[in-house]
Structure 1
Amino acid sequence: MPSWIKRLGHERLLILFALLAIVLAIVDPRPLTSYQRWLQLPTLAGLLGLMICIQGIRDSGLVQHAAAALIERVHSLRGLGVLLVSATALLSMVLTNDVSLFLLVPLTLAIGSISNLPVMRTVVLEALAVNAGSTLSPIGNPQNLLLWQYTHLPFLEFMRTMLPAFGVMFVLVLLLTLVWMPRGRVILHAEDIDGHPVSNSQAILSVLALVSMVVMMEHNHAVLGALLLLVPFALLESGTLRRIDWLLLATFAAIFLGLGHFAELGWVQRALASINLENPLTLYASGILASQVISNVPATVLLLRHAPDPMALAVAVNVGGFGVAIGSLANLIALRLAKQPKGARLLHLVSIPFLLVCAPLVYLVMRWLG
């Protein structure tokens, strides 16, 4: 059996959502334009561009070099955990949640390979941190960008509205980091340090490519940006393209098609119309629950036309990024980048209780300040 078929057999999410998309296409056929809209080609192109850049940075040896330099300066496991979690949250505000994870998770893996840092524990905290950090910024995640464009609020006004929710989330993530990370010192496994020199040409190409890709995404030219990246890497670093996780890209395409179609089924729309979203608690609970079922970006699209208060919806769907892995695509990216055994199990053991604590606290703080 070819190796790619064996790999495909382990892609449960890809198979599940591909089957959902196929079944819905058969029982509820739609025009081609609908499938093009659901596919979210700019989002997929942005992911592809980021995957190319980060794979190039990893291949250059730059990440491994940065990991060794970092742990030479931070000697406490808790201190290292707080630093990585804080950096992840901060980056997610300005570079979006997926870019933040594509940068920090490989660094975390590299640190874990040469030290006693608990890798999966740190990656779970980073997944929580990007959901918290990206909440504050209008450009931090796709749902915020959509709602910012819909409301036409000034940038700083959007941030002011989201600040209380972000504050609760980030404080909880920091407290969890301090409690959950081990107390001990960082132990460096010197024998595992990769002594190969950094490939300066590949590192420069990949870093410049990352900067250009982020700029293109910010200006809504993700498709063009990804196409422009494919040419130099195909000519100069073809091995990097072969090591791209193409099945991850296919998984997101299947999720977008399956969930996008599901959200627009007639009975789903009728059920939404019967819900009293004028009630703040109902809107809040609906945003969180919908995110747990169909992820927070499709949940935003689904509820936006029915929600009387778009910013209350913004708070709800950002909180809904915690909980089950499907709640936020950032969770799926973190798990896929980490590739750790039982990673999904550990994420759910932490993220679901985190949601149960975070959701009522955020609601009470928002109501108290509102």
Structure 2
Amino acid sequence: MNLPFFHALARDRFLHLLIIIAIVISLFVPFMPARWPAAVDWHTIITLSGLMLLTKGVEQSGCFDVLGRKMARRFVTIRQLALFMVLAAAVLSTFLTNDVALFIVVPLTLTLKKWCEIPVNRLIIFEALAVNAGSLLTPIGNPQNILLWGRSGLSFIAFIEQMLPLALSMMATLLVLCWICFPPQPLHFHHGDKSAQWQRRLVWSCLFFYLVFLVTLETKQELWGLGILFIGFFIVARGVVLKVDWSLLLVFVVMFIDVHLLTQLPVLQGLLERVGNLSPLQLWLTAIGLSQVISNVPSTILLLNYVPSSALLAWAVNVGGFGLLPGSLANLIALRMAGDRRIWWRFHLYSLPLLLWAALVGYGLFLVS
């Protein structure tokens, strides 16, 4: 029996909250548990499982320790390091998707604190915000853009041109905030640490497993790919499988069920039927507000049933990734990987003002574009 897994479930307050929400909503909609599995995006769950295994494998190999030590020595101040990590997160998210970018930068950030004194929670918060801002630029930066691009009929370049004003404004805002929120203090390095060591066999195995998993994703055989990862890690490094935060998968499963139950509420169904008649400002606020409750990817799926894929909708659901924690699944991934409960409420000290700013500036830019 995996006792750490059950201990993690017992301490997971966010999972408990999601379960309570599901129970409460079930009192107001038809109770049909048989339909719940179909509401879960199993492709996302399987993909996330594979990425978690691969990231944990690289982390356990010590590769991040070596890279973190080398990186820390290249920067003089906390501000320089923070600006680099935020920019790296944003750039990676434009072509690797926001979730994958976080699986690279957050573990690296956590290892940096072994070598130098940094405000690690604040940096992870900014990285979560950065991947939301960076990923909105390209059609493949996040799941909602993939959906919108497929429906829009735009070319790859045309979609980027459509999103460019919003992406530039949000990244400029984040960099200014980063400059303000991270001091120009010199980095203080820990002394007496042993030289970082890494397991080459495990690193090369992770690279091979990643290529195999990527091929299975492309060929729509992701379940086989996940099975190969499990078998491979049980052979190469069994401890990797045991140290993954598997309770995060339950959080996502319950979130999908909660969203499904919410969409069954008569009051929400009535509102959605009137979406097609909303003014641009009303649609803007609706898409942003809906994203705060059920996340921007489900919001995009719902709204595309009532309105065409447009620049306004694309901007609105991406702005909706800021604000409350459920606005983007990337927020949840980043904060869970931080492993510190204090980061949950601190995140909103930055994300909520940023949501208000993005909503005002974004709509203004849309009107003049």
Does residue 247 of structure 1 match 2:247? Answer: yes
Residue type of the partner of 2:331?
N
Residue type of the partner of 2:30?
D
Equivalent residue, structure 2, for 1:300: 300
* Post-superposition offset of 1:77: 1.5
Equivalent residue, structure 2, for 1:88: 89
- Alpha-carbon separation, structure 1, partners of 2:210 and 2:191: 30
Does the residue aligned with 1:73 lie in a helix, a strand or coil?
A: coil
Equivalent residue, structure 1, for 2:325: 325
* Post-superposition offset of 1:23: 5.5
CA contact (8 A) 1:63 1:107 kept: yes
Stretch deviating more after TM superposition (174-183 or 229-238): 229-238
- Partner deviation per Cα, 1:80-122 (whole Å, 9 max, x = no partner): 1111001100111111111100110010111122201110111
CA contact (8 A) 2:312 2:366 kept: no
* Post-superposition offset of 1:47: 0.5
Q: Provide closer, same or farther for how the CA distance between residues 219 and 310 of structure 1 changes in structure 2, counting only shifts above 3 A.
A: farther
- Alpha-carbon separation, structure 1, partners of 2:129 and 2:339: 17
Q: Provide closer, same or farther for how the CA distance between residues 358 and 57 of structure 1 changes in structure 2, counting only shifts above 3 A.
A: same
Residue type of the partner of 1:299?
S
CA contact (8 A) 1:54 1:210 kept: no
Q: Where do residues 203-282 of structure 1 align in structure 2 (5 Å cutoff)?
A: 203-217=203-217, 220-275=220-275, 277-282=277-282
Equivalent residue, structure 1, for 2:346: 346
- Alpha-carbon separation, structure 2, partners of 1:336 and 1:317: 23
- Alpha-carbon separation, structure 1, partners of 2:4 and 2:100: 30
Equivalent residue, structure 2, for 1:314: 314
Q: Where do residues 3-82 of structure 1 align in structure 2 (5 Å cutoff)?
A: 4-22=5-23, 24=25, 27-30=29-32, 32=34, 34-82=35-83
Equivalent residue, structure 2, for 1:126: 127
CA contact (8 A) 1:21 1:257 kept: yes
- Alpha-carbon separation, structure 1, partners of 2:96 and 2:350: 25
Stretch deviating more after TM superposition (164-173 or 298-307): 298-307
Does residue 107 of structure 1 match 2:108? Answer: yes
- Alpha-carbon separation, structure 2, partners of 1:357 and 1:123: 20
CA contact (8 A) 2:75 2:81 kept: yes
* Post-superposition offset of 1:250: 0.8
* Post-superposition offset of 1:6: 4.0
Equivalent residue, structure 2, for 1:143: 144
- Alpha-carbon separation, structure 2, partners of 1:320 and 1:195: 43
CA contact (8 A) 1:106 1:337 kept: yes
CA contact (8 A) 1:95 1:214 kept: no
Residue type of the partner of 1:28?
P
Q: Provide closer, same or farther for how the CA distance between residues 3 and 232 of structure 1 changes in structure 2, counting only shifts above 3 A.
A: closer
* Post-superposition offset of 1:367: 1.4
* Post-superposition offset of 1:243: 0.4
- Alpha-carbon separation, structure 2, partners of 1:202 and 1:119: 26
- Partner deviation per Cα, 1:163-200 (whole Å, 9 max, x = no partner): 11111111111111111111112221133x45352100
Q: Provide closer, same or farther for how the CA distance between residues 124 and 214 of structure 1 changes in structure 2, counting only shifts above 3 A.
A: farther
Residue type of the partner of 1:250?
L
- Partner deviation per Cα, 1:225-250 (whole Å, 9 max, x = no partner): 22221121122211100001010111
How many residues in Structure 1 have an aligned counterpart in Structure 2? 366
Residue type of the partner of 2:142?
N
Q: Provide closer, same or farther for how the CA distance between residues 150 and 36 of structure 1 changes in structure 2, counting only shifts above 3 A.
A: farther
- Alpha-carbon separation, structure 1, partners of 2:330 and 2:214: 17
Identify unmatched segments of 5+ residues in structure 1.
Answer: none
Q: Provide closer, same or farther for how the CA distance between residues 269 and 156 of structure 1 changes in structure 2, counting only shifts above 3 A.
A: same
* Post-superposition offset of 1:8: 2.0
- Alpha-carbon separation, structure 2, partners of 1:211 and 1:76: 36
Equivalent residue, structure 1, for 2:357: 357
- Alpha-carbon separation, structure 1, partners of 2:65 and 2:181: 25
CA contact (8 A) 1:172 1:358 kept: no
TM-score (norm 1): 0.93
- Alpha-carbon separation, structure 2, partners of 1:301 and 1:263: 11
* Post-superposition offset of 1:270: 1.0
CA contact (8 A) 1:135 1:144 kept: yes
- Alpha-carbon separation, structure 2, partners of 1:270 and 1:296: 20
Compute the RMSD of aligned alpha carbons.
2.0
* Post-superposition offset of 1:332: 0.6
